Structure formats: C-alpha cells, structure tokens
Amino acid sequence: MKTLIFTATYNEHSNIEKFINKVFSLNCKLDLLIIDDNSPDKTFEKIINLKKKFKKLKLIVRKKKEGLDTAHKLAYSFAKKKRYDVLITMDADLSHDPKEIPNFLSKIKNNDFVIGSRYMKRGKNKMKIFRLFLSKIENIIIKFSLKSSLDEFTTSYRAFNLKKLKKFHLKFVKAQGYSFFMETIFLLTVNNYKLSQIPITFSDRKKGASKIPRFELFRTLYNVILISLNLKKYWSK
C-alpha cells in the first residue's frame, strides 16, 4: 500500500529530528509529509536540512499559523491528489510512538478508518491528571452518544483507507481546533463507514511547550456535549 504519514508542526525544533529518524527507521515503504506553520523557532529549517538525507520527506511551509484542523485538511487533499492508498496522521512531539505505525498498516487493510486508542484494553495513557480527566469524560460522552464500539474518539493518531473513502473528505468537517478530530469520527459514523481501533501508548511531550491552551480543552468538552444532545440539528447546519 502506498502510504503517507502526516504531521503538523509549530515550534517543534527540539522534537522534529528525533521524530523523523524514528519514522524512517521503520521497515516500511512510506512517505512523510510535514506541514509547518512558519515556526518562529525555525523548525522548518531543520526539516529542510533533513530532506537531504531522507528523499521521501516532504515539506509544506505555510506563511502563518493557520491551525491544526486546516493542516489536516490540506494533508488529506495532498494524499488524495497524489493517489496514496493510506494516510496516517500523528503528532510530531513524540506523544505518539512511530513504532506503532506497522500496527495501523495491518489493521487498515480491512477497515475504512482506524484510530489509536488509549482507552481500550492494552492501551495506555500517560497524560497529566487534569487533561486525562477531561479526555476521559469527552470520550465516554461520545461513545454513549454514538453507541459506538470504539473507546477513543479524540486522538489524532489515526489511519484513513483512501481507497475505500472515495466519497469522504475532511473538508466536510466543520469544527475547528481539537473538536475537529471528534467531529471527523461523527461524520464517518453517520455515513456508515467501517471503523476500528488498535491500542496505543500516549505519553506527554518531554520537550517543547504544548500547543493546547486550557480553554481549548473546555471548548472541546462543550462541543462534545452540544453535539451529543442534538446530533440531527448539528448535522443539518
């Protein structure tokens, strides 16, 4: 399967080289796309230098900080246009372990979408207590609302089978910020795509600052509750 790994960066200078090395150390045929929002710490300059070593490393630098959701939409469009079979999205701060990529590739063969779950059996979540508490509440509410067999809905570590998702596109997702990841699964679910999950280990970043403002966590929780209370009205907007 022709596979594209995608991550978005903003001030990840201290993590990006290790991340790239880990991805390309895998015994897998894949390309890596990084979309950088003109990081003030010059993350993109380090990536440009690494492109000399890794020929399958691709970089898009945007002029300003445009947000995580728009970066994912751009990556999805890129993958479709370049006729990739599979798109795997993940974080660049090493909270997602690239060693788990082969597990996604194995699982996605017979599914339309696969999410990495911190909350299913054998999944691990090493987040700080405050974030862990809110994350658990969000995921429980979504699971109950969708009557889903999934245990995880909000992490960005996920795989899309583009050969099977011919009529689906992330441009249909309306939410911004981290609510974007939640709404993507709502859309896939209501359109009856085949969704599955694999256990992952999530670890808080060791270097650099988190890009998630505290208010964003509460906004995501608010959106979860809003959508869950009135799904039909939400989708008709």
DSSP codes joined into one string, 158-201:
EEEETTT-TT--GGG----TTHHHHHHHHHHHHTT--EEEEE-E
Question: Which class is 3-235 in CATH?
Answer: alpha beta
Pick from 197, 172, 185, 199: nearest CA to 141:
185
Query: Would you kindly state where each structural domain of the chain is located, as residue ranges?
Result: 3-235
pLDDT confidence bin for 38, thresholds 50/70/90: very high
Instruction: State pLDDT tens for residues 47-76.
Output: 999 999 999 999 999 999 998 999 999 999
pTM score, two decimals? Answer: 0.89
Instruction: State pLDDT tens for residues 161-203.
Output: 999 999 999 999 988 877 889 889 988 998 999 999 999 999 8
Q: What percent of the chain is predicted at pLDDT more than 70?
A: 86
Instruction: State pLDDT tens for residues 122-153.
Output: 999 887 777 787 778 878 887 887 788 999 99
